[in-house]
């Protein structure tokens, strides 16, 4: 067992490095897709016609 310890340690280190690289790539994809999704939704919301109308209240009537 002890004669293979260095190889086992090196293999575990390589595996950990690959796992970190994979997690980093996954996180970058999540951020990129999330940003695209957010911008698509924002563009959709902005392009929709406004269904609410602004009503102006005559303040002079209230103060009498």
- Tens digits of residue pLDDT in 4-17: 899 999 999 999 99
pLDDT at 52: 60
End-to-end alpha carbon distance in the chain: 95
pTM summary value: 0.54
Residues in the chain: 64
d(Cα 5, Cα 2) in Å, to the nearest integer?
5
Cα–Cα distances in angstroms (integers) from residue 21 to residues 11, 25, 42, in the given order: 15, 6, 31
d(Cα 48, Cα 46) in Å, to the nearest integer?
6
d(Cα 64, Cα 60) in Å, to the nearest integer?
7
């Amino acid at each position: 067992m002890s004669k293979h310890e260095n190889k086992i340690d090196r293999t575990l280190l390589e595996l950990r490095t690959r796992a970190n690289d994979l997690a980093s790539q996954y996180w970058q994809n999540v951020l990129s897709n999330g940003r695209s999704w957010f911008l698509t939704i924002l563009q959709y919301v902005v392009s929709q016609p406004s269904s609410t109308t602004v009503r102006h209240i005559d303040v002079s009537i209230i103060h009498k």
